[in-house]
Chain A
């Protein structure tokens, strides 16, 4: 599993493909075939991105043209400024960052707190409650939509950020508890024992020993939490009513429901929503891969 801790680009290829020096004619043909397939699939997979960026830079005339040009001419950079001012995306961005920021804080602190209890404490009922964690992992969120809405409307929380911000403070989600617990279990118990002998309480062990050591796992959890808040549509469209409270996702979706033909602006706004995610991916690649794989394997 060590390979997985490295960036996606650094994973050492296994020896499925023989080294060049020992290659037979058959192997070489296979290799050409692989390269051809890679290029073919690569073209298909990247085409929607190129098409998106290209369309987002076209003018109203060029975008509705058949056969389509791949290169925008002239290049309409102003599509971006028009799209982002057509609706108050600055405000939406601020709203999204407030919600996502609070979600990240909630998840990082409470999921690790709970995970410490499951990873390092021994008490009756622990395994039962961990079973509950695993069970909620499989619980479809969709069945909670209606009753949670009723609850939050009774509390008077509709059209505030509270329904999106408060729930993660209670455990931070089974997925994250599980991920951090798995990481905590890889940290040697002796470190905690040493601290306890020096008079450190359990809370001190959690806060001063485990939290700093678990940083890679916590960063992974933070990134995935941020992404899911950034991407979430269902929560905002259910709970946020006034346009001033919209998130970027809800704002972009409302763009669509206007049902106008301003494809150039819609696509420019979409591109603008994708770019931060891609940047985050490039800066934090190894945490992405780690998160996917840690939750995927070694259950």
Chain B
């Protein structure tokens, strides 16, 4: 300690005296808070204040032009009366319920497929991964064209195989399934995480199982699945939070239609705020989104989190 004080030029200047007089613990604390200060200010500016603003808006009616008007619980009551909201919730839930589990399975499937030592496997890894980095806007336009009823590739293949063309984006029952197919194409990110998980499983486990006469399925069931379960859980949480906030495809490909079948919740918030200029109601919708995500996250952590196998708990 003594050496440090000596080597610092600061004590010579009187302005630094208060600093060197502080105890080491004090100085550490002050320095620590200086380092994390940008984050603390960020939380204050971009989280705490917005949450308070949102709270204020929830109890007001405001179209940005005239002054906000206090309306009490009216915006929250509207949540229960709004005929469009159930359609929006249905679209969001349906998309999440289909795209998340299918995305997990598909990502896991691809990861197993590329976890092989065949020559040229790196080409396949690249091909499988690349769709997941395509920018959202370009992705939306590409798939709007893929699903085009008359001239799209998907219907061309279906008709080529003898089927009838399908009005993917015009049929209210098929628009969300079409988006699920679109989302599966971008499973490369979860694939890479699964691949890393698969390669983190020690070979000795498989070798021991082979000696015991375990077949391919037994190894998958009793070694790979338990060992990979934390990765499944992680991908599930991330996938669920992301899919619940899906926006770009609904906005660009179908514009919420047909018959509001793709009016995802974030799109509905966006429209309420910036097209209908109902700031108060948009704030109420934001709380609804937050509440749903919070409740579902708690449920996922409680009921699935404990079924995850951790090799070294608490590490």
Q: Which chain A residue shows the least CB distance to B40?
A: A129
Residues of chain B within 8 A (CB-CB) of A206 are 35
B79 within 8 A of A: no
CB of A63 closer than 8 Å to a CB of B: yes
When chains A and B are docked, how far (Å) is the Cα of A293 from the Cα of B111? 13
Distance between Cα atoms of A191 and B156 in the complex (Å): 62
Give the contact-size bracket for chain A. 35 or more
Question: Is there contact, CB below 8 Å, between B245 and A142?
Answer: yes
A55 to chain B: which residues have CB within 8 Å?
A: 145
A67–B156 CB distance below 8 A: yes
Give Cα A133 to B115, complex, Å.
34
Task: Tell me whether A196 and B145 are in contact (CB under 8 A).
Answer: no
**Which residues from 49 to 68 on chain B have a C-beta closer than 8 Å to any C-beta of chain A?**
49-54, 57, 64
Contact check, B38 vs A139: say whether CB atoms are below 8 A apart.
no
Point out the residues of chain B lying under 8 angstroms from A45, CB to CB: 127-128, 130-131, 185
CA distance A122 to B33 in the complex (A): 10
User: In terms of DSSP, what is the predominant structure of the interface of chain B?
Assistant: helix
The distance from the CB of B255 to the nearest CB of chain A, in whole angstroms, is 8
User: Does A238 interact with chain B (Cβ within 8 Å)?
Assistant: yes
Instruction: Say yes or no: is B166 at the interface (Cβ < 8 Å to chain A).
Output: no
Please state if B45 and A197 are interface contacts (CB–CB under 8 Å): no
**A130-188: which have CB < 8 Å to B?**
132-133, 136, 138-151, 153, 167, 169-172, 177
- Chain B proximity of A164: nearest CB distance (Å): 12
Interface string of B268-295 (1 = CB under 8 A from A): 0110011000010011001101100100
* Residues of A near any B CB (own CB < 8 A): 1, 3-4, 8-17, 19, 30-31, 34-35, 37-38, 41-42, 45-49, 51-52, 55, 63-68, 110, 113-114, 116-118, 121-126, 129, 132-133, 136, 138-151, 153, 167, 169-172, 177, 196-199, 202, 206, 227, 230-231, 233-234, 238, 249, 252-253, 255-256, 263, 266-267, 270-271, 273-274, 277-278, 281, 288-289, 292-293, 296-297, 299
